Structure 1
Amino acid sequence: MSPILVRPVREQLEHDRVIRLLQLRLKRRHDVVVNIGPDQTVPVKIGPVQIFPDLVLTHPDKGHKLAGTVEVETGESVNHLEAMAQWAHLGRARVPFHLYVPAGCVDIARRLATENHVNLAELWSFHTIGDQTRFTLVHRAPVPEPKRAATPLAAGRRKSAAAKSKSVAGRPKAKPKRKPKTAKAQKAKPQKQKRM
C-alpha cells in the first residue's frame, strides 16, 4: 500500500488517466499490466518486499519475463515517504525503473531520488493541455557497455609484449645474423680485377 493513503479525487483521476495512456503507449514493445486503485493484480517481489507498481512491463516473447516497472506520481505523492516506500525498492530491482511525475515536480523528484539512492532508468515529466497529456523525457541513465572477454589474439599480443620487455631488460641486444648469399647473387656481381 502506498504511503499516500488517500489522494484528492481530482488527482486520483489524473493519476489513473496517465496510467491508462502509458499502457496504450508502452504496449507496442511490451506486455503491460496495470495496478490501478483496488485492482492490485500483479506484484513485483524485490527481496522480502512485495510492491505493486502502477505498470508492470514484461517481454512478450521471452516467457513473460519482467522487463521493467513504471510508477506514476501526482503533485501530492512526490514526497519523501513515497520515495522511501516505493521508489527505493523499485530502483533496486534488476529491471529498469521508470518514474513519471508532473512537470512542476521534476526537481523535487530528482532530489528525492538522489537522497534515497534510487536507480532511475528514466525520469519523465507530464503535463496536461486540455484533454491531451504530453510526456517529456527529463533524464535517461547511461547504458553501461557490456564487458568483453579478452580475445585469444589480444591475449597473445599482451604475452608477446611482456616477453619482449623482459628480454630487452634482462640482456644486451645481439646483432642480427645476416642471410648467407646465394650462388646466383655471388655470380651476378662482377669481381674487381687486381691491378698490377
Structure 2
Amino acid sequence: MTGQRTIHIVDDEEAIRKSAGFMLRTSGFEVETYVDGVAFLDAVKGAAPGCILLDVRMPGMDGLEVQAELNARGVPMPVIVLTGHGDISTAVVAMKGGAVDFIEKPFEKTVLLDAIERAFERLDQKVEAATSEQDAKTRLSVLTQREVDVLRGLVRGHPNKTIAYDLGISPRTVEVHRANLMAKLGVRSLSEALRIAFGAGLEGDG
C-alpha cells in the first residue's frame, strides 16, 4: 500500500464530519466524507482503499446495516464503528461483523488514532485480521469458570444485571468478575475482550 492513507467518514451529523475530518487531515490523512450510508455504498466501488469510520445511528440505513452490506459485497476496507448511543449489544454485533473497534462519541483523539492505526495494519496485512484461535484459547485458559460465564454473557450482548440474574449472583459480583477477566486478558475495553472471545470461538450459548 502507498503512503497515502484515506479515511472515509460516514456520518449524518455535519458537525462530526467537519470536526473529525479536520482532526484527521491535520494528522496527515486524506479524508472523504459521506452524509449517510447509502451515499457511501453508492460511491464505495470507486473509493480509494482506506479505513471507514461508520456512524451507527443514521437515516435510511443504520451503520450496522451498512457494515453488513459491505461484508456482503466483499469490500475489504476495515471498519471502525462510531456511536453516541453505545450499548453492549451493538458492540457485539459490530465486532461479530468484523469491526476493528467500537468507539463512543465524544471520542478522544488518541483512542481514535490508535484504532485507525490498527485498522491500517489490518489493511496492510502486517498483522492477522483477527486474533488466532489458538492464541485466543490460550488467553482464555487463565480465566476461572465463573469469569468465562460472565464473558459468555457479554458475548450474548447482555448487561451486567441480566448476567447476574442468569448466573444467580449479584450485579456487583458480575462487575468484579468482569474487571478480573479483563485484567487477566490484558485488555482495556469491551471490544478487545470480545475480539479474543470470538477468536477463541466462544459462543453465547453453552
Which TM-score applies when normalising by structure 1? 0.40
Which has the larger Rg?
1
By relative contact order (CA 8 Å, sep 6+), the higher-ranking structure is 2
Structure with bigger helix share is 2
Which TM-score applies when normalising by structure 2? 0.38
